[in-house]
Amino acid sequence: MAATETRDDTAAIAALHESLDVQQAAFLRDPMPSAEVRRERVLAVAQMALDNRLRIREAVRSDFGSHPALFADMVETLGIAGRAAYAAEHLETWMAPEPRDADPAMYGTGRAEMRREPKGVIGNIVPWNFPYDLSLGPLVDMLAGGNRVIIKPSDATPACGDLLRDMARATFDPDLVDVVVGGLDLAREFPRLRWDHLLYTGSSRIGREVARAAAENLVPVTLELGGKCPAVVMPDAVDARSVQHIVGIKMIKNGQMCNTVDHCHVPSDQVDRFVDLAAEWVAQAVPDYSTTSDCTGIISDAHLDRVLGLISEAREAGCRVVQLDPGGKVDRETRRVPMHIVVAPPPGIGISEEEVFGPILPIHPYDDVDDAIRHINAGERPLGLYVFTHDEQAAEGVLTRTSSGGACINAAAIQGALPSLGFGGVGNSGTGRHHGIDGFREFTNARGVFIRGEDDLCDLFVPPYDERQQALVDGALEGA
């Protein structure tokens, strides 16, 4: 809930309370929208994103200083449309009651089932790094679940927040979807309200504050928290394909992605090979990376100073620091920074202790994979864990000895882009997940329903307790 500027949020807070009241009343009037209505709402999200594609491009460029237009198209527009199309296609299957076993010896012809019902009004606190993907993407899951939604964009992306509000109000009635924009006071007030569910995506530190505020009203929360997501490169996989993928993933948003590779564990005797392969690929594929629009600007001057401070601290600690595009320079106007590799950072310095979230890839050499696993397990559970090897058994060995929110073998960060694969939560103290059926389930209530039939023994649980129950107990004990 960090703010980039001081602002008077009195009007924004009043509007938030009014919007919540309006949506809660609307939900009580229509608590169970049909599959057809939900499908229309979900597809409206897709159309809204597609109709505003060029405006989305410009908004993210404005807020980041530099941002690749085609990446905005793929993730902030087409990714949302694809997620919506997937949900619309599978919605009726997701909504269908799920049968549960009911022992006919006890319940006769009775039936049991689990029904997924809307939770009500859901709040979504959106981070700055993916202002549309992480606002409209979860909105798809929430609307598929039959809910109403209020979104709070990050105040670090004001252009994106204003456009999101305009898009939502041009597409939906505010009693269904609304967007509130403001500063620090609004951010603090948002999780204190009596939501039926609350989604927060961002840092663990703020996640704890959100969880504490929500707990006052017993509001269930989904926390998609970041963390130091590791990649374990096994000795057989220090090759061009693995290195290119790791470095390329790190270049997405210039490292400002919660499930990017935070750091790599590489065999000690192959660290030089890893660095050389990375430099060779950059020289061939993206030689002027940090001077082009492919390089996303760091979100703010404060974050820029933090990234540069991490690099300087590593140099002062005696680390080998390799800039992957040697001709690149820091551009403070667009906040673009070249990609760096830092070899063998010692414990205690910034990039070893905190989430990097920038264009720095620390390399931790290991002599035995057990050392890498101990390093991973000594920290907080990461949001994502990535294993690179041509040996499937070796990959499974790493996965079974570690824990993370999601995992990939011979890939990194990809699971978060799959509309069918639940993604979210378990980094650090995170909880829950979204995307696909997992998102639908996250934002609905599982309501167990029993329909009594004939020839059951249900009345035996009701007083008086006499020879009837005694016969039941004796028979059960004899059978046991």
Rounded CA separation 392/15 (Å)? 54
Q: Tokens standing for 192? A: 């204190």
CA distance 228 to 354: 7
| Pairing of β 263-267 and β 340-343 | unpaired
Rg, the chain, Cα only: 25
Nearest by Cα to 252 from 479, 420, 18, 416? 416
Residues in Cβ contact with 345 at an 8 Å cutoff, skipping those fewer than 6 apart:
314, 317, 319, 351, 352, 362, 364
Residues 43/278, Cβ–Cβ less than 8 Å: no
Neighbours of 19 (CB within 10 A): 19
Q: Of 160, 229, 258, 295, which residue is the catalytic one?
A: 258
Clarify whether 224 is annotated catalytic. yes
Residue 240 has a CB neighbour count (10 Å cut-off) of 11
Q: Is 295 a catalytic residue?
A: no
Q: Which of 367, 351, 336 is nearest to 64 (CA)?
A: 336
Cα–Cα distance measured from residue 383 to residue 400, given in angstroms and rounded to the nearest whole number:
16
Measure the CA–CA gap between 229 and 41, rounded to whole angstroms. 35
**Exactly one of 189, 224, 355, 442 is catalytic; which is it?**
224
Give ∠ CA 270-276-282 in degrees, rounded to 5.
Answer: 140
Terminal C-alpha separation, the chain = 57
Distance CA 12, CA 98 (A): 42
Which positions ≥6 away from 223 have C-beta within 8 Å?
Answer: 200, 201, 207, 210, 211, 425, 429, 430, 431, 432
Q: How would you classify the pairing of strands 98-100 and 111-118?
A: antiparallel
The answer to whether residues 213 and 192 touch, using CB atoms and an 8 Å cutoff, is yes
DSSP class of residue 337?
-
β pairing state of 340-343 and 360-366: parallel
Phi, psi dihedral angles at 412 (to 5 degrees): -145, 140
| Cis amide bond preceding 464, omega within 30 | yes
- Token representation of residue 153: 């964009």
Pairing of strands 263-267, 230-233: parallel
Catalytic residues: 224, 258
